[in-house]
Structure 1
Amino acid sequence: MSIEIALFDGHPKQHRRPGPARMLHLSTDHGPALAAALAEHVGPAADRRLGRIDPYGDTLFNEQDAGAAFEEATALLARCTTEEHRAAVRDLRNLLAICSATPGSWLAFSGD
């Protein structure tokens, strides 16, 4: 199980402006560790953003979702017990922060 994260400058599946959304960053280095950290420390819950990330499918976060999930990721980082999981969650937090600070941006999580 692995989760990759892509940051886009617009909605990756809609084409409202000329041309498709541009991918600004792709994170593939921590996929298995991120999936493990989320599975170990975050249960699925409708009121939590990180719990909505599907480890087997696709999940999209807009900038508001990313901002709310940043606080959850901060708490998750404190619960991580291995350096591999901490590195994965730090990468996640970085992308959440960038997305929440960039109007119109989206994060696409791709699980397998």
Structure 2
Amino acid sequence: TPEETNPNFVKKLKKWKVDSHQLVNTIYRLTENTRIQARAATEIYEQLQYVEERGWQKEDEKVFSEAVEKLRRLAVFGYEVAKAQEDEAREETTKALKLPYSLKHMESSPKGDKKYVFDQDFV
């Protein structure tokens, strides 16, 4: 479930000054993670497209099984990267709002298609 900043913290977060170098490096890191996923997806697509264009043959079972395993690993990687990015965003939010470090683990429960950084009971 995607996270977003609790609405009552937005105004205070907008006042926080960010080191441009840190921000740019974060964007580059996110871009690299996206490229890794795109490369893997492209490789799987090309394998399956080759099988489709040529027509299914007995030896394609192995190609198909390998593609399924690659898709599984790609999905796991994507979810792990997203979780790490959310953790980093929560840590930066905690730092910007000058909250105690122990509060960074107070995640909220999903409501709809998103959840807030901090539990509503805390807010």
Q: TM-score over 0.5 for the alignment?
A: no
Which protein has the bigger strand share?
1
TM-score (norm 1): 0.29
Choose 1 or 2 for highest CA Rg: 2
Greater helix share, structure number: 2
